[in-house]
Structures are given as structure tokens and as C-alpha cells.
Structure 1
Amino acid sequence: MTAPTINGTRYPQPIEDLLPAARALDLPDGEVFPSRNRLMREFRIGAPKAGELLALLKTTPAAPPADTTEPATPDPAPEPAAPEPAPPVVPDPTPAPEITPPTPLAEVAPVSRPDTPPAPARSAVVWPVVLLALPAFVAIWSGWVGLGGLTGFGIVHPLPGIWDSFSINSAITLPIGVETYGAYALYVWLSGRVPERARRFAKWSALGSLAIGALGQVAYHLLEAAGVTSAPWWITTAVACLPVAVLGMGAALAHLVRTHD
């Protein structure tokens, strides 16, 4: 229900009629003109009309106060004016709020879904490695066993009193220990699936094991070519320490592989 305006009617008022009422509004301290929202609320007018009324308040000077002194001769009473016809009922000119259409979502590129999944990449074959390892195994085995014979390794009976006929050449511990550890440490280093400390230890121990294996082959062939039947003491000392060194490095690497630090 629309509230009455300044002259008691519910119909829109001209700006000229609203201007005096707007000047008569009580304003808070420090304000010179009423706000547009207050004009809209007080006179039930829309935002455009309230803005126009506020502009007139700021540009049109206020009328001087009327003289309240009684005139010497009273004016004759004016004839009553004929009543104005009631204006037709019109809707409130307050414009309806604008509805902003929703912002369309960004177009997402469709994800391509192939009908069939891609075939898994084929892994490299390993049988050429076995073919390459066979001659190397023969040469390395014979070299280490021969060097073991020159440094005191030979036939031993590991089970005396239990199995006297059982014997073994202790020289085979050299190729089994040194070369097997070198291959295992190389695998751990290049696998990339172990902690960093284990990978670093495997790297340097694998390189050291391969270097010692090469030096052992060189030493055996030089001694054999020179006709030496017994290796010098320093070669014998180094070769005798190899099984103990391989055991220590293998145990350390197995421990590091199982750590999570």
C-alpha cells in the first residue's frame, strides 16, 4: 500500500511541489542537503526523480521568508476554486531493479577419451646380458681362482670329523664374493627405489668392487705371464682381506636398504 504524499494524495507529485517539502526536512548536524535515499523514502519516489530533486535543492536558492505583518487593508476573500478532478490511477514510477544475467562459466575443453587404452611400453629384453655375461664369468672365475692359488687359497676340508671326504677350493670365495657384491650394489644404485644414503653407499661400493675386480684380473695375468708361483706379500695381504671386506659391505648395504631415514 502506497503511503500518502505531501498533499494527502497517493499519486506522484511534481518536483516543484516536492521542493519546498524537501527544504523543510530536519537534517542532522553537519548535513546541508538530505540524501537521495532519504528523499526516496520520505516522498515515495524513484531514484531518478530523487536525484533530480536533490540537484534542484543544490542549485535553486531558498525563497525568502514571507512577511508575517498584517496588511493595513485585508484583501477580499478569494472565491473558492473549483475542486480539481482526481487524476487517474497510475503505477509507482519507481523503476524496477535491473537483473544482471549470470556470468556464463568458462568453456572447458573436452577431455579426449580414447576408446582403447594405450598399449604399455615394452620393456627391454635381458637375454643379451646373459649372453655377454657367460664369457666374462669364465674369465673372471678362472682369474680369481688362479690368483687365489698364488696367494694361499686352495683345497680345504670344511667338515673334518664329520665329512672327511668333503673338500672345497677356498679360491672360489673370491669371484663369488667380490663380483656378486659388485653386481648387487650396481643394481641397488641404479634402481632408484632405495633411500638416498643406501643409494650413495651402493654407488661408491659398486665402483670400488668393480675396480678391485679389475685389479685382481690384472694382477693374476701379470704374475702368470712372469712365471711367478707365489704372489708378493702385499698382493697376498690384499686378497686375503677381500672376503671380510665383502661381508662387511654386504651387511651394511642390506641394513641401509631397509632404513627409512
Structure 2
Amino acid sequence: MKRTAQQNDVLIDGLTRRFERQKPAVDYMAEHFGAGPVADFGCGNGIPLAYLAQRHPDLFFAGVDHSTDILDRNLARSRPNVLLVAADLQSRTFPGESLGSAVFNRSLHEVYSLFGEVGLKLAVTAARDALRPGGHVLVYENAVPSRDRVALRIVTEEVRELFARFIRDYSIRPVPWTQKTSDTIVLQEDDALEFLTKYRDPDWESEMREVHFLYSLEEWDAVLTSCGLEKVAVRRFDDRQILATDGVEPGWDIADFKHVLVYRRPV
């Protein structure tokens, strides 16, 4: 979606305010950088990249994104220790064993949404091949807490209509659900969380083509190890503020679902 300058300014303002809550996760990733260079795959608007480049002036960063439009507005582009590269995340952008660390900050779910698991594995494998032995791949993504069936009470007619629209428009996977009472539905937790992250998003069309909850921690581990990586550490972070809950009453305790996954290329 190509945004106007005004729309982009509004988006950047909102993302910048939200980033304040994400700094602990980004700082945790930085603890695992070691020697550079550091590549941020799917750097987008550059808010985290600019933050990291400022905090670590001794490291060289490469921000990679497929969109030249968004790179032109990237907030890290003026940093002396940042190079921006227009490239597909699935391509081999860097020479073998040339990077110290590879960051996927909320970008792999977008790769999956466009290209499925095959595309996601290609992106991770390309990053692994660019790392020196022992270099880290750092993934910041959601992990599915469970696929248990949960109850969601919808208390306004507006949100009932939005849920019906979500069921109709969401293109990633079918969302099976049942009506428990006149105002309560039952569905899998991962599907419920997808709805809660999307139903107030103004960019409805894009959200209906994107998955936020694709793997459990165990499934993430299976995918990343299949790409030739070894697990180093996993840490959970609270970013539940991204869930909209006006007009709904979740009937279960929502666990923290954002995680930083630290893996490395074997030595």
C-alpha cells in the first residue's frame, strides 16, 4: 500500500510512540550482537534501526528492505554507521560469512504472509549463509500461546459486524468458530488474537492478507533449526497493548506472546 506523506507521518508518529514499549526487546537483541556488521532484514521505516545505530556508534548496520519507497523515508538513513539496501529478503544480498548478526524485527511474519513457510525459510537461510560461524540470528515475533478454543464476548453491534467481516475477508487461513450464546463466540486462541490485533487497524485490506500468529515456540524452533541454526536463548516480552479490546470481553487470560528468539550459525 502506497501512503501519502500525511498518512506516513501519522503512521510514523504512532509507531514511534509504540516503540517506547518495545525498547527492552530491542536492547535484549543488541546484547547478542558481538562484532558487526549487523543486518536488519525488513528494516521498514527504520525506527528500531535508528535507535540501535545511535546507541551503538561503534557498530556498522545495514538496513535491508524490498521497498525503495519506504527506504527513502527511513529514519536511519542519515546515520553515518547505516547503509540502506533495497533487496528481497529471500535473496543472497551479502557475501558469505560477512555479517556478525542478522536481525528480523517483526519482519518474518510479513515474509510468511506473502510467500509462506518456504519463503520464510529462504529468508532465514540467506541470512545464516551471510553470517560468520557463531554469528547470531535474532528474531522478534509473536509465538502462538495455544490453539485451544477460547470464548470471546462481543458486546457491541459494531464489533459483531467487524467480526463477520473478519471471517469473510481474512485470506491467510479459514477461521472456524461457533456461537456459544447470543453475544459469545468460541474459536481458537490464535484466531482470536488475530482478530484482536486487526479489527481496529485502519489498513483493513493489508491486515486481511497478513498473519501475526503463525508458529508456537516449538514450531519456531523446528523452523529455525531446519535452516541450520542452533538455539541460544528465548525471552518473552509483554506487548499485549497492541490488542484492541473495546467492544469485546476475552474470556481467558492472555499470556505474553512477543518473544525474542536468539539462534546462531554453528561454529
The answer to whether the superposition gives a TM-score over 0.5 is no
How does the TM-score come out when normalised to structure 2? 0.21
Of the two structures, which has the highest relative contact order with CA contacts closer than 8 Å and spacing of 6 or more? 2
Higher helix proportion? 1
Higher strand proportion? 2
